[in-house]
């Protein structure tokens, strides 16, 4: 396998050989030699030190508190860091150990000098001129004299618990040989312990940590997987790209072998000392020697968090490590907890169940299936153990193949650049959100999308209206623009204008893919560039989502919503109502929706500092209060959530999709209402009762999410926690831990934050009557002295929370696309 070892090594070796040849035995006895010839031996107390820099030392040692003796190799600078052990499970009792080459040069033998018993040996092709040498890579090798650069044997082929640069893990497809690392049993016992790390070679290559199974593999369970190799790093360990210039990772997948290894790049002459070790505690670590502090620095440790725990959320579960500690688990779109009662007790291993059967499974005919794909973004891809992989297929081909196979449940690109195709035909397990994660295409029944459409039909009117309102603002301008071909936004004082389809087509390059910025179940959103260069968001309702009634009501609803003007509402600039097209034109918000910030990665999160978050909450409250008590009567928003709140250039919130709102006075009969999971009040979840107080409840969730950085979600992750902290008087512990704590001497800010959370708790009370009105909320938020009641403990019924709503938030709603 390893016949092509560095020829530079060889040169150095040869030089060494000449240097030392006159005095080898003396040198060996003095412990400065790097090799052992036939006829020589190494006894306890003597060492071999690697050629070159002398970084590695071979000799006898006793680990930890043990008095037993082992032959091992350690880092010269860090004598207790033993990375290879010969007699792992056959220790010597005393200091009588001797290492030597046997007479015919066919074995490297560790003898118990007293009894002459062989404690450990390595066999190879007999070679008359066999010589043992510790190379400056840390590899202990046997070769045939100084002439051959092929190894008869090498310690790198028999790793202990450590992977050094130049070693590999994986499998030779020729010989069947496998390389993996096995943890020690304990700090005092190097015998093979419970944990083992291998390179999984079924499906895409990925590193897997196993527990149990006695080292043989049978009965072992997966503990943690890094996620598949994506061409640059293991999909679930994006941080590896931070150090891949220093320690380049390499995965080889050929007819010969599937292996993983890494290098250490020399800087200022010397390559840093580094190791990857599977600890007996069940943790994998990458450590780098820091010469200045003379200590090992940890670059990586896994598993890192509860979501790394293998299959924690069961089949079709989706783990979110940013969620509150009480529940990291949710389900992928289109699925709900298989056993809500078990989930309520935090036993999520049973996973999730599909809501609507796939077309194929229902007896359809393969290629004619009506199923569609939903994208699950930014995840560590599921276990690919039983998946089929084709590195040659394109994304389009992949999708086609998945639709063509009744058992296919999901597909994804195999590498980070979008090439290759992985198809899952089993349950998908061990999916979690990660930074720079990949997109998983989940196959769902058409009705998972259609439901959205159906509601849409009813809803088309409202979204349209919302859009329209926005449009209205810009509309006047738009109208002018249409005539004079100026900017749409120039004259916001005029109402929403109707624009013709040709104009829309011209600003979106005829709805070109280039302009596509989002797609939901019932609309597609394009970025439009006006002739003066300013941008708008163009929301085109899908034909399939439109009913005749929806089409008819479109203009009326647009007009109603156009009457709503408030600084916290997203502006509807214009609309198009031509032929079968129903299109809304909004102001373009390049800062996207609030959830992108609140649940986003750190720099973006921290950008919304505490005072800014309080301002945002206040502005949202004012916007909702305006909807509730606006000039033309009450409008219920119905779908308040972070993804429906966009941020403008100054990070001021703009409530979107109040299109799902209806005039309170309007006839509600027969309507499909919409509330996203995690934001639905109990009376709505249980009894479909939709009142202004439902918005108040959703607002409370929005408020608490904004301050805590935790998604409530369908599992009611956040609310019980908030309530508990209230009872314990530790409200400040609810604040997003990813953000700097408010300064302890900023009493004003602390007071405001605490008051704000208190208001949030008032909003999420069970009884609608107990909740304040939006205008009361605005009053409380804007005055530090106004009275506040004590909130009543909500039951936070998880059955209600988990009850699938008619219109779940599968879509993340239309407005997520709005940006």
Ligand X SMILES: *[C@@H]1O[C@H](CO)[C@@H](O)[C@H](O)[C@H]1NC(C)=O
Size of site (CB under 6 A) for ligand X: 32
Q: Quick check: 26 binds ligand X (CB under 6 A)?
A: no
**How far apart are CB 138 and ligand X at their closest, in Å?**
15
Q: Quick check: 127 binds ligand X (CB under 6 A)?
A: yes
**How far apart are CB 244 and ligand X at their closest, in Å?**
11
Q: How many Cβ atoms sit within 10 Å of the Cβ of residue 245? A: 9
Q: Quick check: 48 binds ligand X (CB under 6 A)?
A: no
Binding residue for ligand X, selected from 13, 20, 98, 701, defined by CB under 6 A: 98
Q: Quick check: 129 binds ligand X (CB under 6 A)?
A: yes
Binding residue for ligand X, selected from 31, 113, 364, 419, defined by CB under 6 A: 113
Q: Is 191 exposed, middle or buried (0-12, 13-18, 19+ CB in 10 A)?
A: middle
Asked if residues 475 and 496 have their Cβ atoms less than 8 Å apart, the reply is: yes
Cβ closer to ligand X: 277 or 499?
277
Q: Which residue has 């007996």 as its token pair?
A: 280
**How far apart are CB 649 and ligand X at their closest, in Å?**
24
Cβ closer to ligand X: 347 or 500?
347
Q: Quick check: 360 binds ligand X (CB under 6 A)?
A: no
Q: How far apart are CA 170 and CA 202, in angstroms?
A: 11
Cβ closer to ligand X: 385 or 711?
385
Closest CA to 364 of 421, 453, 443: 443
Q: Quick check: 594 binds ligand X (CB under 6 A)?
A: no
Q: Which of 639, 752, 809, 817 is catalytic?
A: 639
Residues 6+ apart with CB under 8 A from 568: 619, 620, 622, 623, 626, 652, 653, 654, 655
Q: Quick check: 426 binds ligand X (CB under 6 A)?
A: yes
CA angle 788, 709, 525 (to 5 degrees): 110
Asked if residues 94 and 69 have their Cβ atoms less than 8 Å apart, the reply is: yes
Q: Candidates 51-59, 225-233, 339-347, 506-514 — which segment interacts with ligand X by CB under 6 A?
A: 339-347
Cβ closer to ligand X: 41 or 326?
41
Q: How far apart are CA 215 and CA 233, in angstroms?
A: 27
Binding residue for ligand X, selected from 24, 62, 102, 425, defined by CB under 6 A: 425
Q: Quick check: 340 binds ligand X (CB under 6 A)?
A: no
Residues 6+ apart with CB under 8 A from 322: 433, 599, 709, 710, 711
Cβ closer to ligand X: 339 or 394?
339
Q: Quick check: 239 binds ligand X (CB under 6 A)?
A: yes
Q: Candidates 66-74, 249-257, 382-390, 740-748 — which segment interacts with ligand X by CB under 6 A?
A: 382-390
Q: How many Cβ atoms sit within 10 Å of the Cβ of residue 442? A: 24
Cβ closer to ligand X: 38 or 803?
38
Q: Which residue has 């849409």 as its token pair?
A: 456
Shortest-Cβ-distance residue relative to ligand X: 350
Binding residue for ligand X, selected from 8, 23, 123, 242, defined by CB under 6 A: 242
Cβ closer to ligand X: 196 or 385?
385
- C-alpha distance from residue 369 to each of 274, 301, 621, 653 (Å): 52, 44, 45, 42
The helix (H) or strand (E) run that includes residue 624 is helix 610-628
Q: Candidates 51-59, 342-350, 633-641, 718-726 — which segment interacts with ligand X by CB under 6 A?
A: 342-350
CA angle 424, 427, 433 (to 5 degrees): 80
Binding residue for ligand X, selected from 36, 71, 412, 429, defined by CB under 6 A: 429
Asked if residues 556 and 632 have their Cβ atoms less than 8 Å apart, the reply is: no
Angle between helices 747-763 and 774-782 (to 10 degrees): 170
Residues 6+ apart with CB under 8 A from 352: 313, 314, 315, 316, 317, 331, 332, 335, 336, 337, 338
64 phi and psi angles, rounded to 5 deg:
50, -125
SS3 410: strand
Q: Is 26 exposed, middle or buried (0-12, 13-18, 19+ CB in 10 A)?
A: exposed
Q: Quick check: 41 binds ligand X (CB under 6 A)?
A: yes
Cβ closer to ligand X: 385 or 582?
385
Q: Quick check: 263 binds ligand X (CB under 6 A)?
A: no
Q: Candidates 141-149, 664-672, 774-782, 795-803 — which segment interacts with ligand X by CB under 6 A?
A: 141-149
Binding residue for ligand X, selected from 62, 78, 121, 349, defined by CB under 6 A: 349
Binding residue for ligand X, selected from 21, 386, 607, 730, defined by CB under 6 A: 386
Binding residue for ligand X, selected from 350, 419, 492, 563, defined by CB under 6 A: 350
Map the footprint of ligand X across residues 267-296, applying CB under 6 A: 277, 279, 281
Q: How far apart are CA 475 and CA 466, in angstroms?
A: 13
Q: Quick check: 339 binds ligand X (CB under 6 A)?
A: yes
Q: Quick check: 312 binds ligand X (CB under 6 A)?
A: no
- What counts of helices (H) and strands (E) characterise the chain? 17, 44
**How far apart are CB 192 and ligand X at their closest, in Å?**
13
Binding residue for ligand X, selected from 372, 385, 597, 755, defined by CB under 6 A: 385
Q: In what order do the strands lie in the sheet with 329-331?
A: 329-331, 317-319, 431-433, 372-380, 438-444, 410-412, 421-424, 388-390
Binding residue for ligand X, selected from 31, 54, 145, 419, defined by CB under 6 A: 145
Q: How many Cβ atoms sit within 10 Å of the Cβ of residue 294? A: 9
Cβ closer to ligand X: 92 or 111?
111
Q: Quick check: 581 binds ligand X (CB under 6 A)?
A: no
Asked if residues 718 and 726 have their Cβ atoms less than 8 Å apart, the reply is: no
Q: Candidates 347-355, 479-487, 521-529, 589-597 — which segment interacts with ligand X by CB under 6 A?
A: 347-355
Here's the x/- map for ligand X, 401-420, by CB under 6 A: it reads as: ----x-x-------------
Binding residue for ligand X, selected from 19, 32, 125, 747, defined by CB under 6 A: 125
Binding residue for ligand X, selected from 347, 417, 607, 730, defined by CB under 6 A: 347
Angle between helices 610-628 and 774-782 (to 10 degrees): 150
Q: Quick check: 342 binds ligand X (CB under 6 A)?
A: yes
For 22, the token pair is 């006159």
Binding residue for ligand X, selected from 37, 189, 359, 383, defined by CB under 6 A: 383
Binding residue for ligand X, selected from 96, 388, 394, 672, defined by CB under 6 A: 388
Asked if residues 341 and 799 have their Cβ atoms less than 8 Å apart, the reply is: no
Known active-site residue 245: no
Residues 6+ apart with CB under 8 A from 478: 471, 488, 489, 497, 499, 573, 574, 585
* 539 carries a ligand binding annotation: yes
For 660, the token pair is 């799902």
Cβ closer to ligand X: 385 or 605?
385
DSSP 790: P
Please give the annotated binding residues for ATP, written as ranges: 539
Residue ranges in contact with ligand X by CB under 6 A: 41, 98, 100, 111, 113, 125, 127-129, 144-145, 147, 239, 242, 277, 279, 281, 339, 342, 347, 349-350, 383, 385-386, 388, 405, 407, 425-427, 429
Binding site members: 539
Which residues are known to be catalytic?
639
């Amino acid at each position: 396998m390893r016949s092509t070892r560095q020829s530079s090594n060889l040169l150095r070796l040869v030089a060494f050989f000449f240097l030392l040849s006159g005095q080898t035995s003396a040198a060996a006895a003095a412990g400065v030699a790097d090799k052992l010839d036939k006829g020589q031996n190494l006894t306890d107390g003597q060492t071999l030190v690697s050629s070159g820099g002398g970084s590695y030392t071979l000799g006898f040692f006793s680990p930890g508190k043990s008095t037993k003796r082992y032959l091992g190799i350690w880092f010269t600078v860090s004598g207790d860091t033993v990375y290879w052990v010969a007699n792992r499970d056959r220790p010597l009792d005393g200091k009588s150990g001797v290492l030597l080459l046997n007479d015919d040069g066919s074995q490297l033998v560790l003898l118990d000098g007293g009894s002459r018993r062989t404690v450990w040996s390595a066999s190879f092709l007999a070679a008359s001129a066999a010589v043992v040498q510790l190379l400056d890579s840390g590899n202990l090798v046997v070769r045939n004299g100084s002439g051959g650069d092929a190894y008869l044997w090498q310690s790198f082929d028999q790793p202990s618990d450590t992977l050094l640069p130049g070693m590999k893990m994986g499998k030779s497809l020729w010989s069947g040989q496998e390389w993996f690392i096995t943890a020690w049993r304990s700090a005092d016992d190097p015998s093979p312990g419970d944990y083992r790390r291998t390179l999984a070679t079924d499906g895409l290559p990925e590193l897997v940590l196993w527990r149990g199974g006695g080292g043989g593999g049978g009965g072992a369970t997966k503990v943690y997987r890094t996620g598949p190799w994506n061409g640059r790093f293991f999909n679930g360990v994006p941080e590896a790209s931070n150090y891949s210039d220093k320690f380049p990772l390499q995965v080889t997948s050929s007819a010969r072998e599937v292996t993983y290894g890494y290098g250490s790049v020399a800087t200022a002459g010397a390559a840093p000392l580094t190791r990857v070790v599977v600890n007996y505690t069940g943790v994998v670590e990458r450590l780098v020697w820091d010469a200045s502090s003379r200590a090992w620095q940890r670059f990586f440790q896994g598993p890192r968090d509860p979501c790394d725990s293998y299959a924690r959320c069961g089949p079709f579960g989706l783990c979110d490590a940013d969620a509150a500690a009480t529940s990291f688990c949710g389900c992928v779109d289109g699925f709900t907890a298989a056993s809500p009662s078990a989930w309520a007790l935090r036993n999520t291993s049973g996973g999730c169940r599909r809501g609507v059967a796939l077309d194929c499974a229902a007896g359809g005919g393969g290629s004619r299936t009506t199923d569609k794909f939903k994208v699950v973004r930014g995840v560590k891809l599921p276990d690919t153990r039983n998946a089929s992989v084709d590195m040659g297929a394109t994304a389009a081909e992949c999708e086609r193949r998945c639709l063509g196979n009744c058992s296919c449940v999901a597909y994804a690109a195999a590498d980070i650049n979008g090439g290759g195709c992985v198809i899952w035909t089993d349950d998908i397990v061990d999916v979690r959100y990660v930074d720079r994660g990949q997109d998983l295409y989940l196959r769902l029944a058409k009705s998972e999308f259609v439901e959205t459409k159906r509601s849409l039909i009813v809803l088309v009117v409202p979204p349209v209206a919302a859009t329209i309102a926005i449009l209205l603002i810009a509309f006047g301008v738009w109208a002018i623009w249409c005539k004079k071909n100026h900017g749409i936004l120039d004259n916001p004082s005029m109402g929403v204008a109707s624009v013709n389809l040709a104009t829309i087509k011209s600003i979106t390059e005829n709805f070109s893919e280039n302009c596509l910025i989002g797609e939901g179940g019932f609309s597609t959103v394009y970025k439009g560039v006006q002739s003066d260069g300013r941008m708008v968001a163009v929301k085109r309702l899908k034909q399939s989502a439109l009913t005749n009634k929806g089409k008819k009501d479109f203009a009326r609803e647009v007009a109603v919503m156009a009457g709503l003007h408030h600084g916290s509402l997203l502006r509807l600039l214009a609309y198009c109502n031509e032929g079968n097209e129903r299109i809304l034109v909004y102001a373009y918000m390049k800062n996207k929706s609030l959830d992108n910030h609140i649940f986003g990665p750190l720099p973006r999160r921290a950008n919304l500092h505490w005072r800014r978050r309080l301002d945002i909450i206040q502005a949202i409250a004012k916007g909702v209060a305006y909807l509730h008590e606006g000039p033309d009567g009450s409008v219920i928003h119905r779908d308040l959530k972070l993804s429906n709140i966009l941020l403008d250039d100054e990070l001021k919130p703009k409530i979107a999709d109040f299109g799902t709102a209806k005039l309170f006075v309007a006839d509600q009969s027969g309507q499909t209402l919409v509330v996203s999971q995690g934001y639905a009040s109990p009376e709505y979840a249980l009894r479909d009762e939709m009142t202004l107080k439902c918005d108040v409840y959703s607002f409370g969730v929005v408020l608490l999410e904004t301050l805590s950085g935790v998604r409530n979600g369908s599992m009611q992750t956040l609310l019980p926690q908030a309530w508990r902290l209230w009872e314990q008087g530790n409200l400040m512990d609810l604040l997003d831990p990813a953000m700097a704590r408010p300064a302890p001497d900023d009493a004003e800010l602390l007071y405001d934050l605490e008051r704000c959370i208190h208001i949030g708790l008032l909003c999420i009370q069970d009884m609608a009557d107990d909740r304040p009105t939006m205008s009361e909320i605005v009053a409380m938020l804007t005055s530090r002295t106004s009275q506040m009641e004590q909130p009543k403990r909500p039951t936070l019924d998880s059955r209600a929370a988990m009850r699938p709503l008619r219109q779940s938030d599968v879509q993340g709603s239309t407005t997520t696309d709005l940006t």
